[in-house]
Structures are given as C-alpha cells and as structure tokens.
Structure 1
Amino acid sequence: MYKMIAIDLDGTLLTDELTVTTDTMTAIRESMEHGVVVTIATGRMYPSAQRIALELGLDAPMITYQGAMIKSATSGEVLRERVVPFEIAQKCIHLAAEKQMHIQVYQDDVLYSAVDNEQVRAYSKEVGVGYEIEPDLLKLAKNGFMKLLFIDEPEALAPVQEELQAVLGDEACIEKSKLRYLEVTHPEANKGSALKFLAEHLGIDSSEVIGIGDNHNDTDLVKAAGFGIAMGNAVDELKELADYTSLSNNEEGVLHVLNKFILEPRTAAVDSGQ
C-alpha cells in the first residue's frame, strides 16, 4: 500500500485551463481519509502553490520552488530551504543581460523583475501572484534567491541552458520546467532530493511513495519515488524512465492514478477483510 503521493501542478494536477476537476478533488480527499499523505511538488513559488493546496484541503508540507523550499501550507513552517548563492545568481543575471533575455527572481516569497514587461505580467496572471519591480536584481542577490527563471522561446533558451551548464556545472540545478521556462536553483534544490527529505521526515520509506509529473523538471521526482509515474502528456524522456504512464492532465490522469494505485487497492483489502 502506498502511503504518500507527490503531485506536480502544471501539466499534471492542473488541466490546461489551470483547474483541478471535481472528481480529482474528491479522490484526493478520499485518499487523505485513508491516511495517505498527499502533497504538491512544484516549481511554482510557495504563495501560488499554497492557494491550490488550501483549496484541496492538503495539510502536508509542500515541495515548492523546484524543491528549494519545503513548507507547510497551513502553518507556514519551513522544513528545508536551499537558496542560490550570490555568485551563481550574479552569473545568471549577467548572462540574461548579455542575451537581452527576461529573467525573474524569487526571494522571501516575492517575485521580482527588473522591468515591467509582457513576460512577467503573463507569468503573474498564469500563477495568480503579484510581482515587484527592482531594477537592481544584484542588490537582492546578496541575500540569496530561491530560484531564478529565464523566460524566452525554446530555441533561445537551448543555448543559454548549455552555456549555464558549462559554466556552472554541478554548482547549480538547471532545468526546463516548460517550453519557455528555464529555472536555476541550488544544486540540492530539485524535486527528488526534496521528496526523499520529506518522506524521511514523515517516516515513510521511498518504496511507499508515488511521484507523478510531466516535464523535465520532474525527472528527479519520478526517479526518487518508489513508483514513478509520467502523465500521458509528459515529455518522452520522462515516459521512458517512469514505471507507469497515466492519462493526460486533460483526461484526469491524476484521478486515474489515485483510483488505480491508492483507492481501489484499499477497497479491495477492506472487502477481503485484510
């Protein structure tokens, strides 16, 4: 019996309309009633994830900022935090300026951009959070960022990702979370390491954990879970390493997983008197 499930948000739990279906909400709550820990593992900032967690009634600590922060949706208690040091942030900010590419940063649960442009406005609307303008991002960098996010077209991001990986190596975690999003976090800030930490904190063995996602930044999540699941709409690379492929996010793929691997086995166990 699986005791914990960690679910990505965009492209996984959320439909393309950024909603959670009623049946999926019901299945999540039923799973929790059976004692299963249901949590979110997202690249989104904490305030954005918290809003969804509270709507679902989740009470477990959440994995946010790609794993840089594990924080309770209800109490606000921080269990783990990994910030990007100044030297890494400085290199990213300088590279963004050189490439004339939008970059935004996250500090103290606030989203900052150096300029008020189309990219940050669209992002703010999509995830339901506000933002602040700070022309001097390097000034903020001295106190560390939870993550930095480059936003541009895929063909523009590809060479930037290669350059960052060549320059930073294992000093940072550099991952695509969407076609137009390239994220930079602390090297220990990925969904996989965060999932392992949280499971251990809760006294749950990794073999009893399900991890489900759809994109490149979910690779470590799927690998770290005892049972890793890719959505039907997931990138091919994730499907290849996953233990199982579900339906797409628009076909209630998370609901399918909850029913097949959590709720139905428990119902069968009750019926058999176990």
Structure 2
Amino acid sequence: MYKLIAIDIDDTLINDDKKVTPATQKALEEAVAAGVVVTLATGRAYASAHVLARQTGLNVPIITYQGALIKNLLDEQVLYERYVPTEAADKLFKYCIEHDLHLQTYIDDKLYAREENQKLIDYTNLNGTKYYVEPDFAKLVAQPTPKMLIIDEPDYLDEIAPVLRELLGDSVHITKSKPNFLEFMHHEGTKGHALKFLANHFGCDLSNTIAIGDSWNDHEMLEAAGLGVAMGNAIPALKEIADFVTASNNDDGVKLVIDKFVFNRE
C-alpha cells in the first residue's frame, strides 16, 4: 500500500492553464481520505508553492526550492533546511558578474535580482512571485539562501553547467527545472533527499512512496521512491528512468496514478 505521494507542481499537478482540474482535485481528496499523505515537491519558493498547496486543501509539510526547504503548511514550522554554501554562492556571483549573466537569489523567501530586466519579469509572471531589486547584490550573496538561479538560453546553460560544476564543487547541487533555468542548491537540497526525509518523518518505508514529475530536477525523487512516475509530457530522459509513464498534465495524469496505484482501479 502506498502511503506517501510527492507530486511536482508545474507541468505535473497543474495543467497548462496553471490549474488543478476538478478531477485531479477529487483524486487528491480521495487519497487523503484513505490515509495517504499527499505532498508537493517543487522548485518554487515556499511563498509561491504554499498558495497552490492551500488551494488543493493539502495540510502537510511541502518540499520547496528543489528540496532545500521543507515547511509545514499549518504552522509554517521548518522541518528541513539546506543553504547554498557561502563560498560557492560567492564564486557563482563573481562568475555571473564576469560573464554578464542574470542571477537571482532567495533570501527569507523573497526573490532578489541585481536589476530589473525581461528575464526577471517573465520569470515572476510565470509563477506569480513578487520580486525585489538590489543593486548591491554582493551583500545578499553573503546571506543564507536555499536557491540561486541563472536564466539564459538552454544551449548556453548546457555549455556552462559543467564549468560551474567544476568551479563550485561537490557541495552544490546543480539542476534544470526548465530548459532556461539553471538552479543551484546545497548538495542535499534535492527532491530525493527531501522525499527520504519526509518518508522517515511519517514513519513510512521508501518502498511505499510514489513520486510524480516531468523534468530532470525530479529524477532524484523518482529514483528514491518505491514508484517513480513520469508524466506523459515529461522529458524523454525522465521517462527512461521512470517505473511508470502516466498521462499528461492536461489529461489528469496525477489522477490516473492515484486511481491505478492507490485504489487499484483500471
């Protein structure tokens, strides 16, 4: 019996209209009523993720910032937190200055950038986040952050990712949540680490967990779970490692998983 389900938000739980469909909402409620812990696992900030989580009626800890922060929805207690190592954050900042790259950081769940530009505006329009501009970015880089993010062309990010992996070392986890977002967390700030933590927190064996996602930043979570599920709209690499491929986010793929694996409905 599956006891814990971790679901990515963008392009997984929500459809292309950024909505949880009534059918998927009903499936979530049925799973919760049956005693299953349903949680969200997202690259989004807590400030953005908790709004969606509350809309679904979920009242559990949720995994945010790719796994760098787990926080209760009810009392907002922090259960798990990992910050980008200060030395790595400083190196990343200097690299971005030298190469004129757009870098964002999160401090106290607020999004900051060095300047206002189209990349920042498009990003915040995508997930409804408020942003703050701080020209003296160096002082922000010295503060604890769960996630830093470069926005650029996908091919260019693929080119610089190995360079930054070498520059920043093993203390940092680097992943893409979308083709043009390169994200940097503490090396234990992954959805996989977070899923293991939550399974332990709820006294649930990992074999009794399901993880559902669509992007490469979900792969650690799918690999850690008893059942790793890729959406029909997932990237090919994620489908290759998944135990099961469900329908797309526009075709109630999450509902199909709950029906099939929690309630054994065909």
Instruction: Compute the TM-score of the two structures, normalised by the length of structure 2.
Output: 0.97
One-letter amino acid matched to 2:60:
A
Q: Distance in 2 between matches of 1:109 and 1:215?
A: 23
Residue aligning to 1:55: 55
Is the partner of 1:229 in helix, strand or coil?
Answer: strand
Q: Report the number of matched residues.
A: 266
One-letter amino acid matched to 1:251:
D
Residue aligning to 1:272: none
Residue aligning to 1:78: 78
Is the partner of 1:94 in helix, strand or coil?
Answer: helix
In 2, are the aligned partners of 1:233 and 1:247 still within 8 Å (CA)?
yes
Residue aligning to 1:138: 138
Q: Distance in 2 between matches of 1:219 and 1:136?
A: 36
Q: Shift of the alpha carbon at 1:79?
A: 0.1
Residue aligning to 1:106: 106
One-letter amino acid matched to 2:204:
I
Q: Calculate the aligned-residue CA RMSD, in Å.
A: 1.2
In 2, are the aligned partners of 1:85 and 1:141 still within 8 Å (CA)?
no
Q: Shift of the alpha carbon at 1:168?
A: 1.9
Q: Shift of the alpha carbon at 1:137?
A: 2.1
In 2, are the aligned partners of 1:70 and 1:80 still within 8 Å (CA)?
yes
Residue aligning to 2:2: 2
In 1, are the aligned partners of 2:111 and 2:132 still within 8 Å (CA)?
yes
Residue aligning to 2:249: 249
Residue aligning to 1:36: 36
Residue aligning to 1:258: 258
Identity between Structure 1 and Structure 2 (%): 47
Q: Shift of the alpha carbon at 1:221?
A: 0.5
One-letter amino acid matched to 2:238:
L
Deviating more after overlay: 122-131 vs 180-189: 122-131
Deviating more after overlay: 160-169 vs 175-184: 160-169
Structure 1 residue ranges without an equivalent (≥5): 269-274
In 2, are the aligned partners of 1:46 and 1:64 still within 8 Å (CA)?
yes
Q: Distance in 1 between matches of 2:10 and 2:229?
A: 15
In 2, are the aligned partners of 1:54 and 1:74 still within 8 Å (CA)?
no
Deviation string for 1:166-213 (max 9, x for gaps)?
A: 222312000011011100000110000010001101111101100011
One-letter amino acid matched to 1:231:
M
Matched, 1:150 2:150: yes
Deviating more after overlay: 46-55 vs 153-162: 153-162
Q: Distance in 2 between matches of 1:61 and 1:50?
A: 10
Deviation string for 1:63-109 (max 9, x for gaps)?
A: 00000000012210100100012211111111222222211001111
Residue aligning to 1:204: 204
Q: Distance in 1 between matches of 2:47 and 2:263?
A: 30
Q: Distance in 1 between matches of 2:93 and 2:183?
A: 12
Q: Distance in 2 between matches of 1:137 and 1:19?
A: 35
Q: Distance in 2 between matches of 1:191 and 1:136?
A: 31
Is the partner of 2:90 in helix, strand or coil?
Answer: helix
- List structure 1 segments (4+ residues) > 2 angstroms apart after TM superposition: none
Q: Distance in 2 between matches of 1:137 and 1:222?
A: 35
Q: Distance in 1 between matches of 2:128 and 2:74?
A: 18
Q: Shift of the alpha carbon at 1:132?
A: 0.7
In 2, are the aligned partners of 1:214 and 1:235 still within 8 Å (CA)?
yes
In 1, are the aligned partners of 2:232 and 2:248 still within 8 Å (CA)?
yes
